[in-house]
């Protein structure tokens, strides 16, 4: 997993609330077990005007030329609600997003973001609105998200602080998913298994 430290990037303002995981990545595209290749289907029903995804909807914000190459998604409250599909952060990451800023997230989606290297930043509603105002008024506006300092800052000098769980922060800074974090203790795990094998050999009988 790629580590997250400080990011300055173009921000796309998706001014919608209650965006659920079926809107992020519709169920008909959940046919792969690998994590890549979902970005093309991100927000499929909004990005395209045909079911095949060959005709872009020019009115949808992600298709506007000024927001191409965005790495930060700014959006409304309760983002990621609905089903617990991990494909939602997979699709966002595969598209190119490394950070999502909102006033609130669905819990499972929030945790799935951390496990996949996406920083989900929760700010106050009025702070999110201030970011919307600045991003929409200034083409090419680059927000800067500083995970070590836990701040979001703007070209006009606004700076907002956010909270982050210490475990999640460490995992993101070190680029560790749950498996990577566990493997830090591989020696201790092997020592425990060897000890358990000698103390309770019947648990390890070959069938």
Whole-model pTM? 0.88
Better-scored residue on pLDDT, 182 or 94: 94
Average pLDDT of 106-135?
A: 97
Average pLDDT of 164-168?
A: 94
Domains along the chain? 6-176 (3.20.19.10), 178-207 (no CATH)
Average pLDDT of 63-87?
A: 96
Strand arrangement, sheet containing 159-161: 119-122, 99-102, 72-75, 6-14, 142-146, 151-153, 159-161
Q: What span, in angstroms and rounded, lies between the C-alpha atoms of 8 and 6?
A: 7
Taking residue 107's Cβ as centre, other Cβ atoms within 10 Å add up to: 11
Least confident of 45-54, 64-73, 128-137, 191-200: 191-200
CB–CB of 109/79 below 8 Å? yes
* Predicted confidence (pLDDT) per residue in 46-60, tens digit: 999 999 999 999 999
Q: What's residue 197's pLDDT? A: 80
Q: What's residue 33's pLDDT? A: 80
* Predicted confidence (pLDDT) per residue in 176-205, tens digit: 887 766 767 677 777 777 787 888 887 777
Q: What's residue 180's pLDDT? A: 67
Residue 101, strand partner residues: 74, 121
């Amino acid at each position: 997993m790629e580590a997250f430290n400080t990011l300055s990037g173009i921000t796309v303002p998706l001014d919608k609330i209650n965006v659920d995981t079926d809107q992020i990545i519709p169920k008909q595209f959940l046919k792969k077990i690998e994590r890549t290749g979902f970005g093309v289907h991100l927000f499929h029903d909004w990005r395209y005007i045909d079911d095949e995804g060959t005709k872009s909807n020019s009115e949808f914000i992600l298709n506007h030329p000024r927001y191409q190459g965005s790495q930060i998604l700014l959006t409304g409250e309760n983002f990621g609600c609905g089903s617990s599909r991990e494909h939602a952060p997979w699709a966002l990451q595969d598209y190119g997003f490394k950070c999502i800023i909102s006033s609130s997230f669905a819990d499972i989606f929030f945790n799935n973001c951390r496990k996949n290297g996406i920083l989900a930043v929760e700010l106050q509603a009025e702070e999110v609105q201030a970011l919307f105002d600045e991003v929409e008024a200034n083409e090419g506006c680059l927000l800067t998200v500083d995970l070590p300092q836990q701040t979001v800052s703007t070209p006009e000098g606004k700076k907002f602080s956010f909270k982050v769980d210490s475990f999640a922060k460490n995992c993101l800074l070190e680029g560790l998913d749950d498996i990577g974090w566990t493997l830090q203790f591989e020696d201790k795990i092997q020592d425990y298994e060897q000890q358990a094998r000698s103390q309770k050999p019947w648990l390890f009988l070959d069938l």
